[in-house]
Structure 1
């Protein structure tokens, strides 16, 4: 199940798949891996549940084996989850006292998401929801860090491509080393800078 990672300000990941029961587990795993790359693992449980329900609904109501696409979009304090399929029939939210099989996915979206909806697309329809990620400050720092690391890697002319953990980790080490050289050249104490940065990190982590 290849993912198409689009490097833009909103952090968008496109995961095409076939609506098969065996694919649902792989789709959940791919979503969790992507959240880890973005540093927003706290939304993992909610995202897995939403992905499971949306993918299962495609299997039940559009057809087993039909093509579909999951789109994850990180928008700072929110994660947008979209499920696209080839059917133009929009689902409806049934009454809460109906059978458990009936409309369960939409009731779950309405309960867990800060916003959700459906839309007709050129190829069928999309069902989407947005999940709260938590601390705006933490998400904003993660976004700034990824921007800085990607920009730093490109300026350095690295032969490594992509945004996998190993690439960004190496970029982080090189960036920190250069910053320490800069602090030393400015007459500052690199150890003091590291200690102050660690104090900031621990204070924000405890408050999260």
Structure 2
């Protein structure tokens, strides 16, 4: 029996650099609302890497959905896009300025993976919360059309 319900936050966006920063701010506000401040840096790094991959590689468009889900003692961050090609962890040359994103996600997360789905693919990672029975109200799914800044997230009541 599950004693605590799942909590979710979903954001749909076009993976452009300006939108990636907005998603980081929304993710940070949501994790503060769930009292998971200790996960903000790692979750923000992971979602930035996944969204950067969508921006750089996804075809035919850069549209994607970010989902943050808290279930019991595990936070899962996933990014869904329309490109069915699965990402590959590369062995980047020492002086390369790119190609290390998935290796960083793998190193900082408890687990990660990718799978194809009916509309493209989903790439995800998990972080342990370190807390059993996390308190806090259920999350509210917000789209970027509705929220343009952390101040608006706080005004919308997502941050408690």
Displacement after TM superposition at 1:66 (Å): 1.7
Per-residue CA deviations over 1:28-59 (Å, capped at 9, x if unaligned) read 00101111221212111111111111111100
Compare CA radii of gyration and give the structure with the larger one.
1
Aligned to 1:16: 12
Q: Which moved further from structure 2: 107-116 or 90-99?
A: 90-99
The residue matched to 1:79 in structure 2 has which SS?
A: strand
Name the SS of the counterpart of 2:135 in structure 1: helix
CA RMSD of superposed structures (Å): 2.3
The runs of 5 or more residues in structure 2 that have no matched partner are 139-155
Structure 1 unaligned runs (5+)?
1-7, 148-161, 167-208
Residues 130 and 29 of structure 1, relative CA distance in 2, 3 Å threshold: same
Take 2:10 and 2:36, find their aligned partners in 1: how far apart are those partners? 17
- Any residues of structure 2 matched to 1:87-106 within 5 Å, and which? 87-95=83-91, 97=93, 99-102=96-99, 104-106=100-102
Is the aligned partner of 1:131 residue 2:124?
no
Instruction: Compute the displacement of 1:95 (Å).
Output: 2.5
> What does residue 173 of structure 1 align with?
none
Q: Distance in 1 between matches of 2:72 and 2:34?
A: 10
Give the ranges of 4+ consecutive aligned residues of structure 1 lying more than 3 Å apart after TM superposition: 96-100, 162-166
Show the 5 A alignment for 1:9-88.
9-62=5-58, 66-88=62-84
| Offset, 1:76 | 2.3
Q: Does structure 2 retain, via aligned residues, the 8 Å contact 1:82–1:128?
A: yes
Post-superposition offset of 1:114: 0.7
Q: CA deviation at 1:141?
A: 4.7
1:142 aligns with 2:139: no
Conserved 8 A contact 2:24-2:47: yes
TM-score (norm 2): 0.77
Q: What residue in structure 2 maps to residue 157 of structure 1?
A: none
Matched-pair contact (CA < 8 Å) for 1:85–1:124: yes
| Aligned-residue offset at 1:13 | 1.2
The normalised TM-score by structure 1 is 0.61
User: Higher relative contact order at CA 8 Å, sep ≥6: structure 1 or structure 2?
Assistant: 2
- C-alpha deviation, 1:117, in angstroms: 0.4
Q: 1:116 aligns with which of 105, 112, 116?
A: 112
